[in-house]
Structure 1
């Protein structure tokens, strides 16, 4: 049985039709959610009001170790900007990285994520993340990072006449020519706007690097 009489101990997370459906109680490791008809909710009282009819302890979503293997790119759906995701933003793309400090966080329940400017690690519940589906692997970029169909890239050499350092942003597309060791890049943004074409160029992956989130946002 659980009795809570001080509202300062309770955080209302969600409401439906004017009724509390989800709360968090400080000192309790978890949340309470709306109960279903077959549940046997614990007794919880807030300022004398019994709300055990509508809420009960929630069951955490199990972490899928295969789905969230190291290196997997994920999009943060919720929780950004608050503990334990300070410095992270909803909607941004991050990378799963288990090699690092976990503190008091349970590796079986949360996913450790890092970003370009968040290398110390943040911790998200599985339901707060969406795995970014990868296209076909095409090779490694100039920094050794794997590239896939659908990734955005920028040129790092002037080996090519168009897809070079003047190309602000390109996108790897399906390879219709299937030339071994090459990938197809469509120019999306270029210093010379006349060099932006609808058709792609067959190029070597090592002449490019994966674009940053800032570059993608600026040129798409």
Structure 2
């Protein structure tokens, strides 16, 4: 599709359909994605342009970067706006999106709250697709474990829950894999802290090595 004339206002609903094809829930689309592309459409209209242009998109990203440097938008908003711009460029070039946000058939099923939380977190990142798949697997596994512990949201999450998850994971993951999981959880909890959704000293617990204990923990998935 590269080189074809494409109307931005027509691309936006097509990108929403592509996100649905990746498994993003309808609520997640309207809550976490739709307004990002409306921002792009508004910029194009202000420039008197209706058709997608790589040059104009570069101007848009420069505007976003300037707003961030001037303190007009948060870091999370800055990253999600830039990611949306990248996705629009990808869609223009290929006619599709490649985004490992929720692999079909995943055995780590989540409630709606955690599903949307995961989607929101992933939309704030810009990993290579392969790395994003690993991050998604680790965080989804963690959230699924929290559900088995009786948590349906972040209200009562504590360091003890992270410790319990690491002990559980150490029973079936090798050292290298467990180290990667700890790293991905650090990034996830950093995001939760920056967005003021959860705040406690997670770094110390996620930096310590854990070995299988004698505690009988509920096993959510294997």
User: Common fold, TM-score beyond 0.5?
Assistant: no
Q: Could you tell me the TM-score, scaled by structure 2's length? A: 0.23
Q: Would you tell me which structure has more helix in proportion to its own residues?
A: 2
Q: Could you tell me the TM-score, scaled by structure 1's length? A: 0.23
Greater Rg by CA? 1
Higher relative contact order (CA 8 A, sep 6+): 2
Q: Would you tell me which structure has more strand in proportion to its own residues?
A: 1
